Amino acid sequence: MQIEEALAGVSRLFLDTAPVIYFVERNPEFVDRVDPIFDRLEFLTDLEQVYLNVVTRGDVLFVEDTLAIAHEAARVRFKYNLQLPDALQIAAAIASNCEAFLTNDAQIKRVTELKVLVVSELEA
């Protein structure tokens, strides 16, 4: 799927850890797929500054774990047989009203509550 097509209609995107690492560490296998996504944001190239930019941007939202998210994570974990960390991230994405979840874990595609974008399946 083309990246622009995959992101059509997505105004809030949850970033799993792997795509951020691919971008920051310039992973040769996936950098061409994640760069267009991160190009929508302005980042500096210095590694430390890139990490700082990711976590301090005004449009980056950090979600606190709440009891509601914990309940949603339990529901998602049971429904899709996900590992707890994945279920917590999916629950946080749902609670944050994200339309999509960017990951490179194809197993998460089972989740139907939001659009799951798998980096390895995207085309630049």
By CB neighbour count within 10 A (0-12 exposed, 13-18 middle, 19+ buried), where does 53 fall?
middle
CATH number at residue 12: 3.40.50.1010
113-118 mean pLDDT:
94
Residue range 38-84, pLDDT digits in tens = 877 664 455 566 667 766 666 655 666 688 888 999 999 999 999 99
Computed over every residue of the chain, the mean pLDDT equals 84
CA distances from 46 to 38, 49, 73, 109 (A): 15, 5, 35, 33
**Packing angle of the helix pair 17-24, 31-38 (nearest 10 deg):** 100
**How big is the CA angle at 115 (ends 112 and 119), to the nearest 5 degrees?**
120
Q: CA distances (Å), 99 to each of 29, 31, 44, 87, in order?
A: 26, 23, 27, 16
What's the domain count of the chain? 1
Domain membership of residue 107 as a residue range: 3-121
pLDDT given at position 109:
95
